[in-house]
Amino acid sequence: MFFGACHKAMLLAGGLITFSTILPAADPAIDRALEAIGGANVKTIQFSGSGAVFTVGQSKNPNGPWPRVELASFQTTQAFDKPASRVEGMQNNQRIQALLSEGRAWNVLPNGNPAPQLAAVEQRSLMIRILTPHGFLKAAQANSAKVKGRTISFTLDGKRKVSGTLGADNMPQSVATAIDNAVLGDMPVTVAFSDYKDFGGVKFPGKIVESEGGFPATEFNVTDAKANVELSLTVPDAVRTATLPAVRVESQKLGDGLWYLTGGSHHSLAVEFKDHVAVIEGPQNEERALAVMSETRRLIPGKPIRYVVPTHHHFDHSGGVRPFAAEGATIVTQEMNREFFARAVAAPRTLNPGKYPKRIKAKILTFADKQVISDGNRVMELYLVRNNPHDDAMTMIYLPKEKILVEADVFTPPAQAIATAPATPNPTTVALYDEVMARKLDVAQIAPIHGRLAQMGELERAAGKAR
């Protein structure tokens, strides 16, 4: 998503795109296209209007579109030769600012402080080259583009293939490429341009729709566009010196053969059986998954990880599932997720091959309403969380021996224990509580994927059900 802000932050692997000095067009068709849009001497472009952003990777249904959030207003300025960009907008009555300069990306928080966005550098850099017709054609010039008919194609950063189509009027109609994604691998990205208008001699589309993974990610309804607007950005010191934190896994024993694996924003659990191990949740990305696997093998040596149990398909919760599958683990998930995980595990990964560059055929075990994994001693029960507003195929896991419930997103205990019920309980929390009651589960403790361990009484109070 162009603003780089999703429901949960997710780290995207990949390096910084390198930019070449703008060179004369290798094919006259590109010159003609630049002339058609008045772009030959354009070094920056600024466009504004209204539209929408979409929370990529957070769809309610594993095969559905990304949820839409209205964008009341926006103004985007891009410099093609630096490269740099500034995006400002009003979303949910809150000002959004997303910036890129000198190979650094950051947002500006409501209090005015900068928030480094190291994982957004690659995508924001790419958007300067594909989000506007001017940026696309100038990138084509700089990268020895080939023109065949009305198709322009070239390669960025030595590996990213980009292609675009021209209309009969020589104006760009669409651009297609891919970005690295922890879940979908080489995730398709397309940009569609339509409804061109003349803005003071510059032809610019009145509508731009950027899609990721087959669904819209940003939608701009453009009401104004200007060329060669000055863009001068100073990278804050806090952004210039920011580095990605090391992946850390900490373990806490919750019972015999049961470990809570924390140390980051997303937790996992290792569950020991007689001759194998099951890991609940493979979140975020390959790096996190490898660290979780390593700690699991240290805690429970000599037993293979036979199962990985993702709570749901959202990108931040499923980005580490593929490494488990590559190591031979069976994915156990609600049946609506079968196609999603099969596609994700098998997706090509040329942009970021990682440890497992080859395509993988996943082993998947699905269930409709309930699944029990047992060795005669240890029992692990998986349930669909019905009537859940967050995700149609959400799984909660119950460990009856310890009376522990594992869940993600639908109840995240705050730092301080919940003492009183909220005036308006979160519907997802209410759905979780109702599901626990309907299943007649004797829950004493909750081990959430986010946050801290909590007692059942806190869930009751959070759901407004405390007796």
Percent of the chain with pLDDT over 90: 91
- For the chain, what are the domain ranges? 28-240, 250-407
Predicted confidence (pLDDT) per residue in 317-376, tens digit: 999 999 999 999 999 999 999 999 999 999 999 999 999 999 999 999 999 999 999 999
Residue 176 CA to residue 188 CA, distance in Å, equals 7
Provide the 8-state DSSP code for 218. E
Q: Give the burial string for 84-122 (b: 16+ CB within 10 Å, else e).
A: bbbbbbebeeeebbbbbbeebbbbbeeeeebbbbbbbbb
Percent of the chain with pLDDT over 70: 94
Give me the pLDDT at residue 12, please: 33
Give me the pLDDT at residue 467, please: 64
Predicted confidence (pLDDT) per residue in 53-96, tens digit: 999 999 999 999 999 999 999 999 999 998 999 999 999 889 99
Provide the 8-state DSSP code for 216. E
Mean pLDDT of the chain: 94
The CA-atom distances, in angstroms, between 45 and each of 71, 84, 196, 446 are 20, 11, 15, 51
- Is the pTM higher than 0.85? yes
CATH superfamily of 250-407: Ribonuclease Z/Hydroxyacylglutathione hydrolase-like (3.60.15.10)
3-class SS at 415? Answer: coil
pLDDT band, very low/low/confident/very high, at 419 (cuts 50, 70, 90): confident
Predicted confidence (pLDDT) per residue in 110-163, tens digit: 999 999 999 999 999 999 999 999 999 999 999 999 999 999 999 998 999 999
Predicted confidence (pLDDT) per residue in 202-240, tens digit: 999 999 999 999 999 999 999 999 999 999 999 999 999
> Which of 295, 251, 267 shows the shortest CA–CA distance to 397?
267
Residue 383 CA to residue 371 CA, distance in Å, equals 7
pLDDT band, very low/low/confident/very high, at 9 (cuts 50, 70, 90): very low
22, 141 in Cβ contact below 8 A? yes
pLDDT band, very low/low/confident/very high, at 3 (cuts 50, 70, 90): low
Predicted confidence (pLDDT) per residue in 151-173, tens digit: 999 999 899 999 999 999 999 99
Give me the pLDDT at residue 388, please: 94
Surface-to-core class of residue 428, CB atoms within 10 Å of its CB (0-12 exposed, 13-18 middle, 19+ buried): buried
Residue 197 CA to residue 435 CA, distance in Å, equals 53
* Tokens, residue 296: 């699991």
| Average pLDDT over every residue of 23-27 | 56
186, 162 in Cβ contact below 8 A? no
CATH number for domain 28-240, candidates 3.40.190.10, 2.50.20.10, 1.10.3720.10, 3.60.15.10: 2.50.20.10
